Structure 1
Amino acid sequence: MALRRLTHLATIGVLAGLLVLAGPVGLLGVPVPPASAASWTPRPPDYPGTATRHDLAIPMSDGTVLRGDLTLPADTDGAVVPGRWPVVVTITAYNKSAQASPAASGLLGAQPAYLVQRGYAQLTVDARGTGSSEGSWCAFCTREDTDAGEIMTWAATQSWSNGSTAMSGPSYMGIDQIFAAATRPPGLKAIFPQVPAADVYRDVVASGGQVDVGFIPLWLGLVTGAGAIPPAVTATDPRSGVTALAQHLSTLGSFTGPMLLDALGGREQAYDGDFYAQRSPINVVDRVQVPTFLVSGEYDLFQRGTPLLFERLQQHGVPVKMVVGPWNHLQASAGDGLADAGHGSLEELQLRWFDHWVKGLPDPGLDDIAPITYFEQGTDRWRTANRWVDQSDTRATALSLAGSAAPGSPGTLGTAPTGDDRATVLPVPVAGLCSRSSDQWTAGLLSQLQLLNGACLDDNRVNDASATLFETPPMTRALPILGPIDARLFVSSNTGDGMLSVGVSDVAPDGSVKRLTGGWQVISMRSLDTARSRYLDGRVVQPYHPFTSASVAPAQPGQVVPVDVEVFPTGAAIQPGHRLRLSVQAFDVPHLAPTLPQAPGVLTALTVHSSTAFPSSLVLPTRDRP
């Protein structure tokens, strides 16, 4: 008991100092009118309570013992109700005991009691090398992915299981669902991943080729710090607990520290390759066959990746749906505001999904939920779509850049250049700090701690004061956008290198600026893989760069080269009277930092060229709709 209290106190300290924060996060002041509610009504609880068994031993095929907490339906006296239940599994790297603390409210996603009281069992398992589980953490390495399938097989064969399983949870727990489902374990019927990554290098580790120093160190610190909490299992199995703690502490020197230093040093981990390919769900998602419900955020860490998973699942005929809302990572993880999409709260949606696909309960109205439900910035309305970048109703709209823009003097967007126009981009090392990008790439932590005020979150004017801007005239009719965007910029610099940080924003008639999305690209890593890039009407809308060490090719000083900047996808509609803005900067702080080899080349001004010879443009996927 004393050890459990000590563990609880240590948990609160670690979580308060890292990322696990109390309470759900608000919608940053965005008013969202509710959509029409579906006809489905959630059923009431079948059981009055729940009871939890802690640190069950789950043996892996290599002899390592993982640990899981099992929550079962209970009567009014707290006694477990006899029976066999469908099991919902969550695999976490953040210490299941820590996540059970009130200080971690929302990080785990939906509260387990909701489903358990309606006839499910909840099994929450510490991933290898975390929490109370033995082994060394390796962040979705081959062995951990194998564990995920073995955990699901184990859960389906226990005395309290009826043989049917499902999975739930956000972020790391969502990614684990894809890897587990790809092993096709017997009994798995459905999954519900919130904000999972697809391609971890491009989604978050090194967007555009620079290293993410906002989220990645924070995340590595979270897992390492949570792993340093004395394992709760020590009270009942001292040998396993001591072994696990020693293995966890060794991870800092064997995996976490070397990986971070390697990336910042510009060595192997700074480039895409086998290490990231192994850890990217997009490379195994084609093996997933079970119905999947995805939750994505327009300001999320995995804003780019989650829709790619949806697309691949849909292409293979897997029953799949996705809700994309105006949320950062913490908000989407907690399901905060999900009910505004019109399909119920996070708990209700999971109940509906699992009741139908796991328990086999009829639900004809489930088909009435569109494949995609997304929040349209600009109108603040929820819209639906059948496909991600649907070529039947989406067009490529190319807007040319023109004018000799400079900070404080915008060029034009959508007007053909009349001469050899040049725009200077100054190297301002604090660019990006006062913007929604800061909050997005710290997973929503800054807004949660109220360290980023409303002027920076809701109005990008301060940040754009040092940016090079291009703007359309006021719109005469709405311009709906849905999907990824390409900024094809012809640039030069004195060093032949540099980083382009691009923002796409909505400028209201009163001059306020709402950042919709952004993209990043290092000039020396501009090599384009045309076979893997996405085209719409013959134009690139989602460029794919190799980001390998072999693809690095700085330009000559002063040489003008084309650079396709992948601007992460969004859903928006620029309203009549509003202007569409493209901003270009050379830094995005605290999101990205150059590696040591890149550093000398990025401390330079950039020049964006616009002419018939150098036709810089912004290519948008614009949607035909009323």
Structure 2
Amino acid sequence: MSAMPNLETRTTVENGLVFMRDVAVTMSDGVTLRANVFRPEAPGRYPVVMAMGAYGKDVHFEDAFNPQWQVLKRIYPGLDTEGSTGRYLRWEVVDPERWVPEGFVVIQVDSRGTGRSEGYLDPFGPVETRDFYEWIEWAGTQPWSNGKVGLIGVSYLAIKQWQVAALRPPHLAAIVPWEGSSEFYRDGGHHGGILSNSFTFEWWPRQVLANQYGSGKSTHRDRLTGERTTGPALSDELLEGSRADHPNDRLSHPLDDAWNRARAANLPAIEVPLLSAANWGGPGMHLRGNFEGWLRAGSRQKWLFAHIGTHYESFYLPHYVAIQQRFFKHFLAGEDNGWDREPPVQLAIRHADGTAEMRTEQEWPLACTAWTPFHLDAADGSLGDVPPRGAGRASFEAMGEGLSFSTAPFAQDTEFTGPAVLRLWVSSSTTDADLFVVLRVFDPDGQEMSYVGAHERVPMAMGWLRASHRKLDPARSLPWRPWHAHDEVQKLVPGEAYPVEVEIWPTCLVFPKGWRLVLTVQGHDFIVTPPGRMRHDHPEDRPVAEFGGVTTVLTGGDHDSRLLMPLIPARR
């Protein structure tokens, strides 16, 4: 074992900011976790904003996520030169130099088994969530705290917010889950019952194991001290025995079983005010979670905010930081700044050219929605206003090109904002079939448009379903959002037709006059820019013998396959 680095709390003061490094708190089971605490130098009691995650509280954003850093710097050159030196910037957490001067204490906690925190590493697990509860209660009772703690962060750090808020820590006063899934199985692990493997299997070694507590192989160094950010170097055997095998845990739990449910947030139990920030361009993981989290959370005071742009610019740009701080100043500091009178739904209405304009609403889905069916016709590949006159069928090789169905050019500017559903009749040459459903945008010249996504270019919207997971939970399904039970596998009889409902994640787009909506149904991932970040291609989850067959779509007659779209009438 290498020499033990200094893990005692070290405090520095600079430009009115007190930096307490490696603050240690012992959990109820005796394991010690550590955090960095940033607070104003002036004596007083301040509101606290906090995050817990696995990416290393001492790992600089630029060092761990250099490509994203370069993109963000191009978008926002003042990130580390205007109002901040950037020295404390970490991936997906707030910049202390922009928050402490506004009267906040900022706390960044290394989750159990990561960074400088000891213990068994089990991402998103219930023990990690209990740790977060204990940290919130610690922060709420410190002499520099006003007793009100808010949570903020992106992705992993947003998922943890949904989870711990459901436990109702007494000192938790508000949360801002920014682009973070709330339904562990449906949002991230298994889309429509199909394992979302590429992110998990690549994320695990790159973003988690690289930050495991005791990793002597980690290349991450604290820029301010030169020390390894993962504490003392431990043996490979000890490291392996000190962590779960998260990717294979995902693979070995293909249904929404007890393991998955233990990691799902109990959304109705959440009571604190919340601001749920969704990204229209994040269809592979978090988009659904922010909408469902807002819908199902028990909070009386809750706001839904949907934006465009990359995963990181939509958190760090000054406009968004101002929104976050205004929300917290109201609910943590008691400032009467009018936030409580803000409309509960604020949406960036996307246009076909990739621009957007903000619009406020009172509910989601929008009360004015005209739920409009577009009927599939296998004979001519159309999406029509009325069912086709006759029955039809069309087939595709599951691993090859799929089928596409197009509307006529729209006669006027046409807005779709909301969730969508594909009600499809389908058969397979095998005992199962995976359906990858895509909403696409084409201009009058036949040129397809794609959009800036959270991490890569994306189509208008996507949805997924494994046919053997078609069973619905009638108590939780809605006409505009089917809820699949995912509690049993119902194999297909080859050649027999079955009705299925595919949930298409929320979307928003205004089609100009003359543009077309195209629905594509295929048996593999739709990727705009290869290789794609959110792939579903694990050979154990999708053996070719079963998922490489021929899929047939039936339309018309007794098999009225139709796409239900959220048409928003023109506003005068």
Contact map agreement 1:135 1:248 (CA 8 A) in 2: no
Q: Post-superposition shift, 1:584? A: 1.1
Q: Which residue of 2 aligns with 1:398?
A: 373
Q: Which residue of 2 aligns with 1:59?
A: 26
CA change 1:254–1:595 in 2 (3 A) is: farther
User: Counterpart amino acid of 1:577?
Assistant: G
Task: Using the TM superposition, name which of 128-137 and 488-497 deviates more.
Answer: 488-497
Contact map agreement 2:47 2:145 (CA 8 A) in 1: yes
Contact map agreement 1:4 1:232 (CA 8 A) in 2: no
User: Counterpart amino acid of 1:293?
Assistant: L
Q: Post-superposition shift, 1:322? A: 2.0
CA change 1:260–1:103 in 2 (3 A) is: closer
> 3-state DSSP class of the match of 2:192?
helix
Superimposed CA distance per residue, residues 186-208 of structure 1 (whole angstroms, 9 cap, x where no aligned partner): 33222222112111211121102
**Residue 500 (structure 1) aligned with residue 435 (structure 2):** yes
CA change 1:260–1:253 in 2 (3 A) is: farther
Question: Counterparts of 1:25-424 in structure 2 under 5 Å?
Answer: 48-73=15-40, 80-99=41-60, 103-104=64-65, 107-221=91-205, 222-227=207-212, 228=215, 229=218, 241-242=231-232, 246=234, 250=238, 252=240, 255-257=243-245, 259-261=246-248, 263-264=250-251, 267=252, 269-281=253-265, 283=266, 285-300=267-282, 301-313=285-297, 316-332=298-314, 334-336=315-317, 345-364=319-338, 367-378=341-352, 380-390=356-366, 392-404=367-379, 410-424=381-395
**Residue 544 (structure 1) aligned with residue 519 (structure 2):** no
> 3-state DSSP class of the match of 2:509?
strand
Contact map agreement 2:19 2:39 (CA 8 A) in 1: yes
User: Counterpart amino acid of 2:263?
Assistant: R
> 3-state DSSP class of the match of 1:215?
helix
Q: Which residue of 2 aligns with 1:570?
A: 507
> 3-state DSSP class of the match of 1:146?
helix
**Residue 601 (structure 1) aligned with residue 546 (structure 2):** yes
2:19 and 2:236 map into 1 onto residues whose CA distance is: 25
Q: Post-superposition shift, 1:598? A: 4.3
> 3-state DSSP class of the match of 1:214?
helix
1:279 and 1:252 map into 2 onto residues whose CA distance is: 22
Contact map agreement 2:374 2:383 (CA 8 A) in 1: no
Give the unaligned 5+ runs of structure 1.
Answer: 8-46, 74-79, 337-343, 430-465, 536-540
User: Counterpart amino acid of 1:87?
Assistant: V
Q: Post-superposition shift, 1:567? A: 1.0
Superimposed CA distance per residue, residues 433-469 of structure 1 (whole angstroms, 9 cap, x where no aligned partner): xxxxxxxxxxxxxxxxxxxxxxxxxxxxxxxxx3311
CA change 1:117–1:197 in 2 (3 A) is: same
CA change 1:246–1:561 in 2 (3 A) is: same
Contact map agreement 2:345 2:364 (CA 8 A) in 1: no
> 3-state DSSP class of the match of 1:178?
helix
Q: Percent identity?
A: 28
2:49 and 2:248 map into 1 onto residues whose CA distance is: 37
Q: Scaled by the length of structure 1, what TM-score is found?
A: 0.75
CA change 1:277–1:374 in 2 (3 A) is: farther
Contact map agreement 1:210 1:595 (CA 8 A) in 2: no
Contact map agreement 1:422 1:607 (CA 8 A) in 2: yes
Contact map agreement 2:56 2:110 (CA 8 A) in 1: yes
1:351 and 1:545 map into 2 onto residues whose CA distance is: 37
Q: For 1:483, which of 403, 409, 418 is the aligned residue?
A: 418
| CA RMSD between the two structures | 3.1
Q: Scaled by the length of structure 2, what TM-score is found?
A: 0.82
> 3-state DSSP class of the match of 1:592?
coil
Q: Which residue of 2 aligns with 1:37?
A: none
CA change 1:365–1:166 in 2 (3 A) is: closer
User: Counterpart amino acid of 1:322?
Assistant: L
More helix by share: 1
Superimposed CA distance per residue, residues 251-309 of structure 1 (whole angstroms, 9 cap, x where no aligned partner): 6566543x423544xx4x1221111112122x2x2222222112111121211111111
CA change 1:320–1:573 in 2 (3 A) is: same
CA change 1:595–1:507 in 2 (3 A) is: same
Q: Post-superposition shift, 1:324? A: 0.9
Aligned residue pairs: how many? 512
Q: Which residue of 2 aligns with 1:43?
A: none
Contact map agreement 1:197 1:280 (CA 8 A) in 2: no
Contact map agreement 1:196 1:306 (CA 8 A) in 2: yes
Superimposed CA distance per residue, residues 148-175 of structure 1 (whole angstroms, 9 cap, x where no aligned partner): 1110110111232232222211111112
2:250 and 2:42 map into 1 onto residues whose CA distance is: 51
User: Counterpart amino acid of 2:433?
Assistant: G
Q: Post-superposition shift, 1:107? A: 2.1
Q: Which residue of 2 aligns with 1:340?
A: none
CA change 1:251–1:4 in 2 (3 A) is: closer
CA change 1:595–1:546 in 2 (3 A) is: farther
Contact map agreement 1:395 1:623 (CA 8 A) in 2: yes
2:148 and 2:339 map into 1 onto residues whose CA distance is: 23
Contact map agreement 1:111 1:347 (CA 8 A) in 2: no
CA change 1:62–1:479 in 2 (3 A) is: same
Question: Counterparts of 1:460-475 in structure 2 under 5 Å?
Answer: 466-475=401-410
Q: Which residue of 1 aligns with 2:452?
A: none
Q: For 2:496, which of 559, 569, 579 is the aligned residue?
A: 559
> 3-state DSSP class of the match of 2:419?
strand
Task: Using the TM superposition, name which of 129-138 and 412-421 deviates more.
Answer: 412-421
